[in-house]
Chains A and B, each alone.
Chain A
Amino acid sequence: MSSNASGSPASAPARRRLPRRRARGSSLDPHETRRALLLVAPAVAVLALVIGYPVVRAVWMSFQADQHLDANGTFVQGGFAGLDNYKHWLLQRCGDVACPPGSTGSSFWEVVGITLFFTVVTVSIELVLGFWFAVIMNGKFRGRGLVRAAVLIPWAIPTAVTAKLWYFIFSYDGIANHLFGAHVVWFGDKWAARSAIIVSDVWKTTPFMALLILAGLQLISDDVYEAAKVDGASAWQRFWSITVPLVKPAVVVALLFRTLDVLRMYDLPAIMTGGGAGDGNDTTTLSILVINEIRNGFNSAAALSTLTFLLVFGVAFLFIKFLGASATGAEPKAKR
């Protein structure tokens, strides 16, 4: 993660240079292309080995059945299962019947909903707060460096520690209840538990969002604002017509990273609630479900992790396609 934070500001100048070069010549000459491929090849080979292999293996496993008991009560291999594991999750079928309450299969769609809910809510709140923080930190005031460093602290604390911290704050005898004079069983109630997790996640990752956006803001030259001022643009107009469009690439990258992170979120809800609360699974995310399922069978868990992978991949694809996010930062903006 730390590489993301430092990668974006450094790559932003490159983005501004590239359009000009692209405008002059249509494409690179063939020699340069071949050399580029040669240079990239080792990295691609390593990626294929350490990333491609596990993904392919997980997909292969997802088409195998989990082992089951024979008549003597001994486990035997499951063999080829076709799409059974996927049917188990997507159609919530356990054998010939609908998965009964209390089996992992029965909660699949609920868990997908919970994961998407966490994603939409936390990322929206973080975007608004992060933008606000960034605008403040972009101003000139005394002690700006200190504020920028201090704001990073929640993000620098390991997630497991953050989770334990908020777990104590929201415990029944904890600070939250004392502060509001309330008697809320935070981790026993559906919405209370979800709110607690959202608050913790927002507290932890807003700084990350703020710094990425701040990096974008810093690239906007003061001259642009001054020119707009001379032309008589109001503060609001300057914000909407200059700040927002120019900072958009940075915002989209920040959104992409955060969205992918929340879609895979495991640690916060796992440590704070164990995935429980409400009906017992109301804070279970997809990653928690995958880990729980590993105990029941590797192959059905592989199918679930493949589905999770597809969901996350799909969201990332949509981001890149429609919002023009570029994870590498070196992508030229075609328009403008």
Chain B
Amino acid sequence: MRHARIAASIAALSTIALPLSACGGGNGSTSNDAFAAHLKDRGPITYVQGKVNDNATHAIIDQWNKLHPDEKVTLKEQTDEADQQHDDLVRNFDAKNPEYDVVSVDLVWTSEFAAKGYLQPLKGDMAIDTDGLLDSAVEGAQYNGVQYAAPQTSDGGMLYYRSDLVKTPPKTWKELFDDCAIARKAHIDCYAGQFNKYEGLTVNASEAINGAGGAIMAEDGKTPTVDSPEAAKGLQVLVDGFKSGDIPKSAITYSEEEGRTAFESGKLLFLRNWPYVYGLAASEASSKVKGKFDVAPLPGLDGVGASTLGGHNAAISAYSDHKATAIDFLKFLESADIQKEYMEKGSLAPIRAEVYKDPALVKKYPYLPTLLTSIENAVPRPRTPFYPAVTKAIQDNAYAALKGDKTAAEAVKDMAAAIKAASGQ
């Protein structure tokens, strides 16, 4: 009887252990042998990316298939949830699945996958031509100085402002907070970004730090450099904003959508957000700021600030059987025509500067020149294989500083210590 009792208790409890072991065995062993195999082989390949919610991807693949009937590309769609896409890729790479030939990788996963030996280094025969590509995007696809992926689409933050209330957009943080007098007069809030404790806070805190001349990590992906007076000064700008009320206190719970809603309902003078807001704020029925807003590059401490780079890279799996076809497909994705199509049909920011200057596109998307400035000044998020722990280190400490629980100087000091611990040093 007692045994039955214990067995029943175990049954009730063991649900904790189940999810963990289900995804256990994440052993990313190195695969240097795989790098030399199948380099010259051609044939049909599979391209893997998250759920397609644009009108460009299918058209682009159809175009390739028409041109290469013997080396067709099959699209494999994942979920639309980033964490699940990441875990699906890890599982398939771990299983050395040759059916994942070309994969679309979020910028921040590139280093982790490279360090685990999943991605074919793009050198020698597999090298890509980076001429004409935006420098920050090229950099965002490197780890330890090696090109592991080809930039595919890009993204950058911009400052949305009420052009009916502010005549010339602010270039520096000081100018921005000086303009808050206008907001107070109009009884609306002044500035908001993404300050909830999630990835968005990493983006916003990095922008404040990079825009003031600070840097979060060294090139090697393990040494923190964030404990500097510049970094503290950058973070202090946001801390002061919260303290003075120029950033409303409810902004501590804002992610992208809350900020967009506040701006579109006319309750916000300045908003930091991604380009997707432009189209919605200009067209949505509920938007009260139609024709009353414009965009500018993000402000910095003494000039244009540093946006955090977003976007995706296309990479070749080290376990692909048809790498020669795969590299051709990567080059195809980077060509000017395809980049234009990404922008035209999918509103996905291109990685070639020339596309941003296309007159027809600029007419349709007036924010393109601003976005180009933003991306040209953009800094990728820390390129480290320990990204999940590093982003937590940034979030936790930036959040504590914004809440006034610690000073900006203490926050960057703790950030550096936590990043160091995260990289196993």
Give chain A's interface residues, CB within 8 Å of chain B.
40, 44, 47, 51, 53-55, 57-58, 61, 66-69, 72-77, 94-95, 97, 99-106, 171-172, 185, 187-188, 257, 260, 264, 274, 276, 278-281, 287, 290-292, 294-296, 298, 301-302, 305-306, 308-309, 312-313, 316-317, 320, 326-328, 331
- Interface SS, B side: helix
Please indicate the chain A residues that have their CB under 8 angstroms from the CB of B4 in the complex: 40, 328
Please indicate the chain B residues that have their CB under 8 angstroms from the CB of A328 in the complex: 4-5, 8
Q: Determine the distance from Cα of A106 to Cα of B422 in the docked complex, in whole angstroms.
A: 12
Q: Determine the distance from Cα of A73 to Cα of B117 in the docked complex, in whole angstroms.
A: 10
Chain B CB within 10 Å, residue with most, of A58, A103, A296? A103
Q: Are A57 and B24 in contact (CB under 8 A)?
A: yes
Q: Are B249 and A103 in contact (CB under 8 A)?
A: no
Q: Determine the distance from Cα of A55 to Cα of B7 in the docked complex, in whole angstroms.
A: 13
Please indicate the chain B residues that have their CB under 8 angstroms from the CB of A280 in the complex: 197, 395-396, 399-400, 403
Among the listed A61, A95, A295, which residue makes an inter-chain contact with B388, where contact means beta carbons less than 8 Å apart? A295
Q: Are B17 and A54 in contact (CB under 8 A)?
A: yes
* Min distance, Cβ A36 to any Cβ of chain B, angstroms: 10
For window 173-229 of B, CB contacts with A under 8 Å fall at 196-198, 220-222
Q: Determine the distance from Cα of A305 to Cα of B23 in the docked complex, in whole angstroms.
A: 13
For window 143-162 of B, CB contacts with A under 8 Å fall at 143-144
Q: Are A302 and B16 in contact (CB under 8 A)?
A: no
Q: Are A276 and B196 in contact (CB under 8 A)?
A: yes
Q: Are A54 and B250 in contact (CB under 8 A)?
A: no
Q: Determine the distance from Cα of A94 to Cα of B414 in the docked complex, in whole angstroms.
A: 13
Among the listed A54, A72, A327, which residue makes an inter-chain contact with B9, where contact means beta carbons less than 8 Å apart? A327
Q: Are A301 and B20 in contact (CB under 8 A)?
A: yes
Please indicate the chain A residues that have their CB under 8 angstroms from the CB of B75 in the complex: none
User: Which residue of chain B has its CB nearest to the CB of A97?
Assistant: B421
Q: Are B400 and A95 in contact (CB under 8 A)?
A: no
Q: Are B7 and A101 in contact (CB under 8 A)?
A: no
Please indicate the chain B residues that have their CB under 8 angstroms from the CB of A66 in the complex: 424
Q: Are A320 and B115 in contact (CB under 8 A)?
A: no
B63 located at the interface, meaning its Cβ lies under 8 Å from any Cβ of chain A in the complex = no
* Min distance, Cβ A19 to any Cβ of chain B, angstroms: 14
Task: Please choose the segment from B26-34, B126-134, B291-299, B316-324 that sits at the chain A interface, where 4 or more of its residues have CB less than 8 A away.
Answer: B26-34
* Min distance, Cβ B128 to any Cβ of chain A, angstroms: 21
Q: Are A305 and B17 in contact (CB under 8 A)?
A: yes
Q: Determine the distance from Cα of A99 to Cα of B422 in the docked complex, in whole angstroms.
A: 10
| Beyond A99-B421, A100-B414, A327-B12, 9 extra complex contacts between A and B, CB < 8 Å | A75-B28, A95-B424, A101-B397, A103-B421, A279-B399, A279-B405, A292-B388, A296-B422, A301-B20
B233 located at the interface, meaning its Cβ lies under 8 Å from any Cβ of chain A in the complex = no
With A54-B14, A73-B220, A292-B392 already in contact, the answer to whether A187 and B253 are too (CB < 8 A) is yes
Please indicate the chain A residues that have their CB under 8 angstroms from the CB of B115 in the complex: 69, 73-75
User: Which residue of chain B has its CB nearest to the CB of A312?
Assistant: B13
Chain B CB within 10 Å, residue with most, of A51, A69, A317? A69
Q: Are B26 and A298 in contact (CB under 8 A)?
A: yes
Please indicate the chain A residues that have their CB under 8 angstroms from the CB of B21 in the complex: 53-55, 57-58, 61, 302
User: Which residue of chain A has its CB nearest to the CB of B249?
Assistant: A185
Q: How large is the interface on B (under 10, 10 to 19, 20 to 34, 35 or more residues)?
A: 35 or more
Nearest 8 A/B pairs, CB to CB: A100-B417, A102-B418, A295-B388, A94-B421, A102-B396, A54-B21, A276-B197, A102-B393
Q: Are A77 and B27 in contact (CB under 8 A)?
A: yes
Please indicate the chain A residues that have their CB under 8 angstroms from the CB of B393 in the complex: 100, 102-103
With A75-B385, A102-B396 already in contact, the answer to whether A55 and B9 are too (CB < 8 A) is no
Please indicate the chain A residues that have their CB under 8 angstroms from the CB of B10 in the complex: 47, 51, 55, 313
Q: Are A312 and B16 in contact (CB under 8 A)?
A: yes
Q: Are A102 and B415 in contact (CB under 8 A)?
A: yes
Q: Are A58 and B253 in contact (CB under 8 A)?
A: no
Q: Determine the distance from Cα of A181 to Cα of B425 in the docked complex, in whole angstroms.
A: 50
Q: Determine the distance from Cα of A57 to Cα of B119 in the docked complex, in whole angstroms.
A: 29
Among the listed B14, B253, B392, B405, which residue makes an inter-chain contact with A103, where contact means beta carbons less than 8 Å apart? B392
Q: Determine the distance from Cα of A147 to Cα of B174 in the docked complex, in whole angstroms.
A: 61
B389 located at the interface, meaning its Cβ lies under 8 Å from any Cβ of chain A in the complex = yes
Can you give 13 contacting A-B residue pairs, CB < 8 Å? A40-B4, A54-B18, A58-B24, A74-B116, A75-B385, A97-B417, A100-B417, A103-B421, A185-B253, A187-B253, A298-B20, A301-B20, A305-B17
Please indicate the chain B residues that have their CB under 8 angstroms from the CB of A54 in the complex: 14, 17-18, 20-22
Please indicate the chain B residues that have their CB under 8 angstroms from the CB of A320 in the complex: 5, 9
Q: Are B250 and A274 in contact (CB under 8 A)?
A: no
Please indicate the chain A residues that have their CB under 8 angstroms from the CB of B403 in the complex: 188, 278-280
* Min distance, Cβ B419 to any Cβ of chain A, angstroms: 8
User: Which residue of chain A has its CB nearest to the CB of B195?
Assistant: A188
Q: Are B396 and A101 in contact (CB under 8 A)?
A: yes
Please indicate the chain A residues that have their CB under 8 angstroms from the CB of B220 in the complex: 73
Q: Are A103 and B418 in contact (CB under 8 A)?
A: yes
User: Which residue of chain B has its CB nearest to the CB of A257?
Assistant: B12
With A102-B396, A279-B400, A328-B5 already in contact, the answer to whether A313 and B20 are too (CB < 8 A) is no
Q: Are A298 and B25 in contact (CB under 8 A)?
A: yes
With A74-B115, A75-B385, A296-B422 already in contact, the answer to whether A326 and B5 are too (CB < 8 A) is yes
Please indicate the chain A residues that have their CB under 8 angstroms from the CB of B7 in the complex: 44, 47
B11 located at the interface, meaning its Cβ lies under 8 Å from any Cβ of chain A in the complex = yes
